[in-house]
Amino acid sequence: MNLTRPWSLRELVRDLREGRTTPEDAHQRALARIAETDAELHAWVGQADFLPGAGVPLGVKDIIDLAGVPTRCGSALRAEAAPATSDAAIVTAWRAAGAMPIGKTVTTEFAFFAPGPTRNPAAPGHTPGGSSSGSAAAVASGQVPLALGSQTAGSVTRPASYCGVASLVMSHGRYPVTGVTGLSPSLDSHGVFAATVADLTIAWQALAGETGPAREPRILVWAADALDVVEAPMRNALAQAAKRLQEAGATVEPFRDEGLMAELTAAHPVVMAYEAARERAAELAVAERLSAPLAQLLRTGAATSAAEYETARATIDGGSVRLAEVFDAYDVVLGPAAPGAAPRGLEATGNPVLSRGWQALGLPVVALPGFTDAEGLPLGLQLVGRHRGETALLGHARWAERVLAGVSW
């Protein structure tokens, strides 16, 4: 069976508007595809009732409250959780935009590193990434055209890259996180997956009411050399993309402040651990019942001093000022979304290191699919925009998507 068959949001929205399909038809199509594929993919942990009147089937990561469905956070600690009594604020916003939540998608344990059962539609023997693994797989397989995730380190960008779909990480604070079981209040951000950047743009227009032109950007290319993790196929994909975008009219120059990104990348886990130990204090109290990675994170955070935390925060605050100056002269930063293709095996979720620095800054990020390695595994790139600049970022990403797909303007 071909597990990779993304569902075009653009085509679904057009068919709904023109009366060629109905919300119930879309709901039934989602359920049929889930029934066809989920015994192999394991992307879902619960379903919601169908509510007439809504439109686009939506998956909701299982750290986000969905009325009537338990929020179990991928944890045995929440195995007996009662159904949520109300929607998270972000679900309410998506319902108002015309989305129709159909159920909860798999997350890693409390959105950290312990994997869930989900497999990668593009390569079932390889990790789908984490922690929004279920949402990425649900979109890549065409179970739904839209699914919600969250990112504290690399939990949206990395699974999108591994599964070969597009994603948007919203600016930190763009929408409230009420009803979301988070890890780190200064880092947690909302995310969303769709088949393509063009689909993301339609979703963003419905959610935020904002549209922007698709035009050639001024690009800085971040090679991430200082982090020394990027594999040769990903380096080649980045170089090819930069070359083709420049040939199509974009201004392309190298991002030279590698030292800054290394500092931000180092500061991120300090902040994450410190805040997670306090945000998840109840779980820290029963750390022996958690996976080893999560228990270690919380214990590390509990042992981190306030001075260490403030030093890391100061690094991030200084970086924000320096990056704001960068975005005065350039529109986006283009870089690798992950070190390489999805690693083989399901025991780990891959390395989020290439997202840590950008996530520390709370900037919006689009994962751009389209490249593959020699084995045909997806390789995603990321485009980073200025704070609260999602609309412009999506316009630039849509232009890049069309150029890289060979579509002429």
CB 144, CB 7: distance < 8 Å: yes
From the list 299, 383, 350, the residue with the least C-alpha distance to 153 is 350
61: annotated active-site residue: yes
Which of 199, 123, 160, 196 is CA-nearest to residue 379? 160
Most distant CA pair in the chain: distance in Å? 60
Which listed residue (131, 150, 184, 355) is catalytic? 131
Write out the two tokens for 315.
């690094």
**Which residue in the list 61, 75, 150, 355 is annotated as catalytic?**
61
Q: Is 104 a catalytic residue?
A: no
What Å distances lie between residue 373 and 165, 362, 400, CA to CA?
15, 30, 19
φ, ψ (nearest 5 deg) of residue 133: -65, -45
Residue 184: active-site member: no
Q: Is residue 205 a contact partner of residue 56, using CB atoms and an 8 Å limit?
A: no
| Residue of 155, 167, 189, 291 with catalytic role | 155
Give 81-150 as a DSSP string.
Answer: PPBBSS--HHHHHHHHTTEEEEEEE---GGGSSS--S---TT-TTB---SSSHHHHHHHHTTS-SEEEEE
Say which amino acid occupies 81. A
How far is it, in rounded angstroms, from Cα 31 to Cα 223?
A: 41
CA-nearest of 31, 18, 40, 37 to 59 is 31
Task: Please name the residues in contact with 367: beta carbons below 8 A apart, sequence gap of 6 or more.
Answer: 156, 157, 160, 161, 165, 166, 167, 168, 337, 380, 381, 382
* Residues with Cβ within 8 Å of residue 382, at least 6 apart in sequence: 157, 161, 334, 335, 336, 337, 354, 355, 358, 365, 366, 367, 368
Distance of CA 215 to the CA centre of its chain: 24
Cβ neighbours around 289 below 10 Å, total? 11
Residues labelled as active-site residues = 61, 131, 155
